[in-house]
Homo-oligomer: A and B are copies of this chain.
Amino acid sequence: MATYTAPLRDLRFVYEELFDAEEITALEAYRDATPDLVSAIYEEGAKLCQNELFPLNRSGDEEGCHFENGNVRTPEGFRSAYAAYVDGGWGGLNCAPEFGGQGMPHSVNIALEEMLCSANLSFSTYPGLTRGVYRALRVFGSEAIKQLYLPRLVSGKWSGTMCLTEPHCGTDLGLLRTRAEPTKQDNYRITGTKIFITAGEHDLTENIVHLVLARLPDSPKGIKGISLFLVPKFMPNEQGEPGVRNSVTCASIEHKMGIKASATCVMNLQEATGWLVGQPHRGMQAMFTMMNDARLGVGMQGLGIAEIAYQAAGAYAKERLQGRSITGTKQPDKPADPLIVHPDIRRILLTMRSFTEGARALTCWVARNLDFRDKAETEEARQAADDFVQVMTPIVKAFLTDYGFEVTNMGLQVHGGHGYIRETGVEQYVRDARITQIYEGANGIQALDLVGRKMPAHTGRYLRSFFHPVQRWIEEQSTNTELQPFVLSISKAFGRLQLATGHIAQAGLRNPDEGGAAASEYLRLFGLVALGYLWARMAQISIEKQGGDDNAFYAAKIVTARFFMERVLPQTGSLFAAIMSGSSTMMEFPDETF
């Protein structure tokens, strides 16, 4: 029987020990987020995820969503699970108290996000986009819109969507055709077709709030002529209750490889009533606010699904008896030794584990900077935090989902033939994880964002927000004898990252294709260095704390850190070589021969 156990100890470790929780509680807005309260929140969140959501994961995959006369029925159990989610106030955990939220830091909220994704990735997509809509409306919505919509989104009674993609355009939104005609009131009539709309229609909430990209009649061509509109499924009446049905309807839902319990909708807008959000023709700006939140959220999905895949594989490897240890029988009273005795199985499990724990540290680091960005006292501190979030967003999105997908496959492999059977449940993790590399900007687009936008921005200022602390730490630890193997490994990998950065920056000036050719491998190199740095710091802390009450925890951390340095971080070498080989070969290949 498959189980999920939330990694509470490790969540506390990153919040309280790896990073300084007091820096968060020192912020006026977050003074309540003490380790004790945070711990209690984690435990309650774990109960919801372990007991309500995880048991619906496989049945939701088997049953899928039902499309019936324009309505979407979610799988058995999803409605009551969502009700439990709303009743627990989980939708507003990190939302503003003025709109009914609990005002917790992002660095606490990500623990909930991770647990939701581990327990039931499909389920997590229903409340998932509501967060992006909340944030876009908070920043760009009019006061009336905020007062009307935000409390209902925060409570989770209403949910949100992002309506961007059209049949002929996903990445290239400049091509989009949906149009908005002004009316004589303060609103617009919006017409067009949107596809791949996650949670576009479902039966979990009493209303759905669509944020729709469309063109005004006088709009410039391309992405500079796109505006953002709020289009509710039901028009709120004077009491703020769902009233008249708007003409935004679900035409069909997709048959997908995975996340089958998540409704992916084709949405038709037929002169649907909508309200402008933000300035005309400035929709992309508002969209990116929402999108960046969503990208970090998708990165969390990569971590969450990897964690459950790891737990399943670890349990199976300890329980499944098959073969004998090559160094001599370990469990003579049993017909065979458990899989866990075999080095190759341990190699796989430690590759998985060194990813999940490293990724957890990375997401906490980024989330802390979201906290500082929003609530730090000085503009300078807020700016510095935003710089870091800017550069790390594409890395969290792409690196954590690419690697997370690989981890789900490793987990399947540990199960052998049984892993390929649907009833075992682990092949679902592979299928579910696969979408995370694609949606909210395919990972190749994330890499181009990193190389083309984030790297050159403000002459490298975003980059320095990562490079400087790493550089400083390496210098500080240069005389720490016990830590030398870690310092050497990370120095070498960091050196490669610095050289690759310089190369891309220079070569890209001569030929823009150079950045494109290097982008994906550069992003992975960057992600590995980030995890390597965090593993070195986790090793440092664990070396200091080992020998005490929680010795087993710290001892495992130190071994895992070593494993990462020895077995994973060397990938930076081959990535560096590939980056340095440039773009000429791939551009030279004749198009028609592909």
Identify the A interface with B (CB < 8 A). 165, 168-172, 174-175, 195-196, 254-258, 314, 317-318, 321-323, 326-327, 335-336, 340, 342-350, 353, 405, 409, 412-413, 416-417, 419-423, 427, 430-431, 434-435, 437-439, 442-444, 447-448, 452, 511-513, 515-517, 519-520, 552, 555-556, 559-560, 562-563, 566-567, 570-574, 577-578, 581, 583, 585-594
Contacts and interface: CB of A to CB of B under 8 A. Distances in A.
Within the oligomer, what is the number of copies of this chain?
2
A282 to B, nearest CB: 21
A444 B413 contact: yes
Given A430-B434, A566-B581, A590 B555 contact: yes
Contact of A578 (B165, B346, B566): B566
Contacts of A422: 254-257
A491 B143 CA distance: 68
Given A343-B586, A413-B438, A520-B347, A327 B574 contact: no
A435 B413 contact: no
Question: A-B pairs with the 9 shortest C-beta distances?
Answer: A343-B516, A566-B581, A570-B577, A257-B427, A343-B517, A314-B594, A570-B574, A346-B586, A255-B422
A195 B418 CA distance: 10
Contact of A326 (B336, B348, B419, B516): B516
Nearest to A578: B567
A578 B565 CA distance: 9
A139 to B, nearest CB: 26
Instruction: Decide if the interface of chain A is mainly helix, strand, loop or mixed.
Output: helix
Nearest to A318: B594
A408 B452 CA distance: 28
A581 B438 CA distance: 34
A444 B345 contact: yes
B172 A322 contact: yes
A409 B444 CA distance: 13
Contacts of A347: 517, 520, 586
B556 A593 contact: yes
A332 to B, nearest CB: 14
B350 A171 contact: no
A342 B516 contact: yes
A170 B318 contact: no
A437 B406 CA distance: 14
Nearest to A443: B413
Contacts of A593: 552, 556
Contacts of A594: 314, 317-318, 340, 346, 349, 353
A255 B58 CA distance: 13
Contacts of A555: 590
Given A172-B322, A567-B578, 6 more contacts: A171-B416, A172-B323, A326-B515, A344-B519, A413-B437, A572-B574
Nearest to A311: B594
5 contacts: A170-B416, A318-B592, A343-B513, A416-B442, A559-B589
A344 B438 contact: no
Contact of A571 (B412, B416, B511, B574): B574
Contacts of A344: 444, 447-448, 516-517, 519-520
Contacts of A350: 585-586, 589
A320 to B, nearest CB: 9
A256 B347 CA distance: 26
Instruction: Determine which residue in A323, A348, A594 has the highest number of CB atoms from chain B within 10 A of its CB, and name it.
Output: A594
A346 B348 CA distance: 31
A270 to B, nearest CB: 23
Given A171-B416, A336-B175, A417-B196, A563 B577 contact: no
Nearest to A582: B566
Contacts of A560: 589
Given A323-B171, A344-B447, A438 B421 contact: no
A590 B560 CA distance: 11
Contacts of A318: 591-592, 594
Nearest to A581: B566
A588 B574 contact: no
Nearest to A517: B343
A336 B511 contact: no
B419 A438 contact: yes
Contact of A513 (B327, B336, B520): B327
A578 B589 contact: no
A591 B255 CA distance: 41
Nearest to A317: B594
A417 B259 CA distance: 13
A563 B590 contact: no
Contacts of A591: 318, 340
Interface centre among A254, A437, A574, A578 (most CB of B within 10 A): A574
A286 to B, nearest CB: 21
Contacts of A348: 444
Given A318-B594, A412-B434, A562 B574 contact: no
A588 B573 contact: no
A555 B570 CA distance: 34
Contacts of A340: 591, 594
A444 B344 CA distance: 7
A417 B438 contact: yes
Given A350-B589, A586-B346, A434 B420 contact: yes
Contacts of A412: 434
A463 to B, nearest CB: 20
Contacts of A512: 326-327
A563 B578 contact: no
